[in-house]
Amino acid sequence: MSSAEVKLDEAVAILQRTPETLTGLLKGLPDVWITATEREGTWSPYDVIGHLIHGERTDWIPRARHILAGETKAFETFDRLAQFHESQGKSLGDLLEEFARLRRENVAALVEMNLTTDDLRRKGLHPQLGEVTLGQLLATWVVHDLDHIAQVSRTMAKVYRDAVGPWTAYLSILHDRE
């Protein structure tokens, strides 16, 4: 079943859980799990956490405020690779704590906006996609979280791709999406 409109309480339920989910999955693991990538040019779990932090700082709430302020200019372009310089020298534990703190602040800010159905229909201008609604932005925030949780899990599973032997045939997480 699919819902065409975001429901704030449902969105918040996922957004609040993402830091805890990723912390539970990653905190304290040996480097083999947190630095693994699927192949050259893909992100490790460490990279994903840095990317999520950058989004908390520069994407979701700033863009929501941009829409609510009635801005007609396009959103600032999001640097999808900022984590590669912003995370340098930080431990995964530090990144997980920073992500959890920023997410708590942003969810609180979102709830404090007291958004109405009309607010969710308000429009902003994405620099590549064109016109988008606040509801679409918030739904994307939720799906973006879930996408990266899946990415982290898939990347970690591939550490043992060869070790599972013939069971590879039964483990869809080990097969690249086409």
pLDDT one-digit tens code per residue, 106-161: 999 999 999 999 999 999 999 999 999 999 999 999 999 999 999 999 999 999 99
Per the structure, the count of domains in the chain is 1
Q: Residue 37 belongs to what domain range?
A: 8-174
Q: Which of 32, 153, 16, 154 is nearest to 92 (CA)?
A: 32
Interatomic CA distance for residues 115 and 86, integer angstroms: 32
Q: What is the pTM of this model?
A: 0.94
- Is a pLDDT exceeding 50 seen at residue 178? no
- 79, part of any domain: yes
Mean pLDDT of 3-15: 91
Instruction: Name the band, by pLDDT with cuts 50, 70 and 90, for residue 176.
Output: confident
Decide which of 166 and 177 is more confident: 166
Mean pLDDT of 58-63: 96
- 83, part of any domain: yes
Interatomic CA distance for residues 68 and 87, integer angstroms: 31
- 125, part of any domain: yes
Residue 156 · residue 43 · CB < 8 Å = no
CA distances from 101 to 87, 96, 147, 149 (A): 16, 9, 21, 18
- 159, part of any domain: yes
